[in-house]
Structure 1
Amino acid sequence: MARRHGPAGSNGNRGDSMGQGSFSAAGFARSGRTVAVLLAAAGALGACAVPPPRALFDLQSLPVAAAPAPVATAPGTPAVRRAAASPVQVLVPEPRALAALNTDSIAAKSAPGEISYFPRVLWADQLPKVVQARIVDSLENSGRIHAVGVPGQGLAITDQVLVDIRAFQFEAYRGRRGVVELAVQVMDDRNGRVVGARVFRAVAPAKGEGPSAAVAAMDAALQQVLQEMVPWIGSLV
């Protein structure tokens, strides 16, 4: 049965709908004021945002190896021989790390198991990417490997260097020092066999206060690790 409607206002319906309309308009007005307040608060928060970092820090690679000395040879052969690069092509994927180190923040420990970060200073990139770049550079600079690359370059790979970052921080509770520990595997990419595995760890004292001295200590520890790691990798590939 069709619903019957009485004359407008005869049963108060018109008045009710006008009341509802007035209520909605007031509600919209209040909502508009609320949105305006929220936008103003957001603007204030934006004005009070965290300031940009004061400095970005990088790490060093091992220097380019010196040219080999001339080698006297038997008559009829060239008088000088170059140290031949190995015929391998090595891939260095991005190292793995826990979330606490998989960041561009610079880690510090004031107690065992407690990690914090230096304020307003950062690594030049995510720490695993920085470490990856320095390993690649150091292997290239050794002059003993034909080619070194990262995923996506399309090299015909013979070996991979797989790295886990176990520690890369400044420690203030054990005499103010930089600590670096890398677990490294060398894998034959042709058959998936790990031909060598080793953990490299180094500690270097900080020679001052503040983040610059802390980063210098971590960099010195990394140099010690690379000095052992690069020739070890070269002996396996």
Structure 2
Amino acid sequence: MSSGENRGSIESMRWDLDALRKHVEQMFGQGQRRIAANCIRSVIDRRSFSRLHYHEAMRTIASKIDGRPDYEVMAAMLGAYDKDTGSFEDARFTAYANIMACVHNMRAVSDNLVHLVYFATGMNLDKATRVEERRISWNKIKDKLGAQEVRNDLDALHSHADFKYLVALDNHCKHRGIVDIGFSVSAVEDTYGMRINAFSYEGAEYPQRWVRPLLALEYHRQETQIMLTGNHLNDYVAGLCHPNMS
């Protein structure tokens, strides 16, 4: 995640949100536009929340180890320099809390995007496609969704191994217990940083994962899929409004 990204990053990547709102209202009315507009804002805000929490986690840990040679990192982790820089454990806990918040928002943005697709295409207005509101999810709506390109984009978003990992991690933390995230030094991998502990969920085993590469790569992958989904959604809803357009 680039620290230069701002809150309007989704709009700046040419997803015409005003056009989507306009076409939803034109096709389905003001009430439907209001619902879709809230979903849009939620997608944008969750992306911003993810960036904010990720960068705060990285900044907090960096404040304890930046500028130190590698051989001092282990000592810093054990609190050797706490009198100079403040408690390393407090910094780790702050980073841990921000990473958990980042994970939750990176998982939840897909739910908001699915709701946006559901309401922007008017699925709730048709008995053939309507789903009980508390049960709206990708698995529940995908077979009823008429927009094939949007369906392909959302399938790609949900089917990636790293996204499935975040879903399992988030579900474990919400329902069973929070998976610990600590600061680790690995002589084998010649690296150090925040690392998510191994865990098991629904019969699957998930190994330890380094936070930085996991979240940075998945964030950018999601950005691509959100842009594709958004633009194909715009095209589909515009086509509903103007069915004779080539």
Output the TM-score relative to the length of structure 1: 0.29
Which structure has the bigger radius of gyration?
1
User: Higher strand share goes to which structure?
Assistant: 1
Output the TM-score relative to the length of structure 2: 0.29
User: Higher helix share goes to which structure?
Assistant: 2
